[in-house]
Amino acid sequence: MANSSTQQTSSKTVQSQRIFLGLLATIFHSPLWAALPTPVAPSTAPPAGDWLGLIQGYIKDGGLVLGLAIAILGFLWIAYLGFAKFNEARQGKAEWAEVGVLGIVGAIVLIFASYLLTEAAGVI
């Protein structure tokens, strides 16, 4: 019985210490913010005070990053298919011509996707 009382007391002590530290951090917060770096402006660099231009710039940059991520996934998917087809050709389950056709078609698809992403970046 005395053991559970000791655990409750130590639990209350820890909880009160956390509350105290939280209040202390809230009161003296300005030195904590001093070490943060300044945010990087978007690639469009709107004039100072133009919040809508700033948000539009960040959305544009996010769209470009999303497009690049999709291109990377396409590249990885075609590479995976190429390795799988190569493995099948080594095992005799597929012909080597299929590996060559996949390589040519995969290269054409990646070039076309890169072209579309470049055009989309100019439109956005």
pLDDT in tens, 30-49: 665 667 778 788 888 788 88
pTM for this structure?
Answer: 0.59
pLDDT in tens, 55-69: 888 898 898 888 889
b/e per residue, 86-102, with b = 16+ CB within 10 A?
A: beebeeeebeeeebeeb
